[in-house]
């Protein structure tokens, strides 16, 4: 075999494995989206618009899942060639990726502001803090700088999906206010600001008030300087969890 032909083959083989985002999107939409949603938001299968996928911690695991499926529910895409599998994998990763961005602040300074402003009084980061509000250990993998900035300034304008602040009025006239932990057709569990759990049968309550668009988190617009805000955003964006 001539040297020229050999190098040509190597090039072709290498090319054949370069993922093509357009190919990945097309295959995803026709073969995966039935269960995972056309935009990866999930359906009968889990959502995939997340930075970390439980069954696919790395790309090799993701390619394996795509090719072989997950018994008993997920069929494998046996019909795809290697390049198509890579392409689908790349597209799936893109669904949950926060595009890298340059943020102006200083993360270390931001961490000090996080402590001094009392954020840890409600949020857990890496095992420290109180768990009244959402855990922030890997918030940087889920939210971009603009989102974090808006939440800090006006939290009620960007509440996480499923988050609900509620007030329960008991038959004895007591009022319990807190974040809904769980709810079904008959019961509700909530957590108050002191971290205490409450469980009520709805039939025993006078009323459950759903405080839609409300949150116990204070708005920090006006109580942070522009530089402090930059630093705090940079700190939160740097929280990537255990990678």
Partner 1 sequence: MKWSVWLAAAAAFAQVPYDRIVNTQNEPGNWTTYSGNYSGHRFSPLTQITPANVAGLHVKWAHQFESGRTETSPIVVDGVMYITAPNSASALDARTGRELWKWTRPIPKDYQSIGFGRVNRGPAILDGQLFVATLDCYLVALDIKSGAERWSTKVEDYKPGYSMTLAPLAIKGKVLIGVSGGEAGIRGFVDAYDAVSGKRSWRFWTVPAPGEPGYQTWPQDAKFKDAWKTGGGSTWVTGSYDPELNLVYWGIGNPGPDWNADSRAGDNLYTCSLVALDGDTGALKWHFQFTPHDTHDWDSTHVPVLFESDVRGVKRKLVAVANRNAFFYVLDRASGEFIAGRAYAKQTWAKGLDDRGRPMVIPNTEPSADGTIAWPNLNGATVWFSPSYSPQTGLFYVSTREIGSIYYKREADYKPGTFFAGGGEAGIPNGEKSGAIRALEVSTGKLRWEFPLHSASWSGVLSTGGGLVFSGSDEGNFFALDALTGKPLWDFQTGGAVTSNPISFTVDGKQCVAISADRVLYIFSL
Nearest distance in Å: CB 60, partner 1: 22
Give the residue with the Cβ less far from partner 1, 47 or 238.
Answer: 47
Long-range residue pairs from 218-226, CB within 8 A, at least 24 positions apart, any chain: 218/155, 219/153, 219/154, 219/155, 219/156, 220/117, 220/152, 220/153, 221/153, 221/154, 223/117, 224/113, 224/117, 224/152
Nearest distance in Å: CB 168, partner 1: 15
- 102 Cα distance to chain centroid: 20
Judged by the rule CB under 8 A, the positions of this chain that interact with partner 1 are: 26, 29-31, 33-34, 37-39, 41-44, 69, 72-73, 75-79, 161, 182-187, 203
Nearest distance in Å: CB 230, partner 1: 29
The phi, psi pair for 48, rounded to 5°, reads -120, 0
Nearest distance in Å: CB 202, partner 1: 9
Give the residue with the Cβ less far from partner 1, 175 or 187.
Answer: 187
Q: Is 7 helix (H, G, I), strand (E, B) or coil?
A: helix
């Amino acid at each position: 075999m001539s040297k020229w032909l050999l190098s040509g083959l190597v090039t072709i083989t290498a090319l054949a494995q370069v993922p093509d985002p357009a190919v990945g999107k097309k295959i995803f939409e026709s073969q995966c989206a039935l269960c995972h949603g056309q935009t990866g938001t999930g359906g009968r299968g889990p959502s995939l618009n997340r930075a970390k996928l439980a069954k696919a911690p790395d790309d090799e695991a993701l390619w394996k899942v795509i090719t072989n499926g997950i018994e008993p529910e997920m069929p494998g895409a046996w019909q795809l060639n290697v390049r198509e599998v890579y392409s689908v994998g790349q597209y799936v990763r893109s669904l949950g990726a926060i595009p890298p961005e340059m943020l102006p602040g200083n993360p270390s300074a931001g961490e000090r502001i996080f402590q001094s402003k009392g954020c840890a009084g409600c949020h857990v980061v890496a095992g420290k803090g109180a768990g009244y509000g959402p855990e922030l250990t890997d918030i940087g993998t889920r939210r971009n700088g603009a989102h974090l900035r808006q939440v800090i300034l006006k939290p009620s304008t960007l509440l996480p999906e499923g988050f609900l602040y509620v007030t329960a009025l008991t038959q004895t006239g007591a009022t319990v206010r807190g974040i809904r932990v769980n709810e079904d057709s008959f019961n509700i569990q909530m957590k108050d600001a002191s971290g205490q759990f409450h469980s009520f049968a709805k039939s025993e309550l006078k009323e459950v008030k759903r405080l839609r668009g409300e949150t116990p988190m204070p708005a920090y617009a006006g109580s942070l300087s522009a530089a402090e805000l930059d630093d705090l955003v940079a700190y939160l964006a740097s929280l990537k969890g255990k990678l």
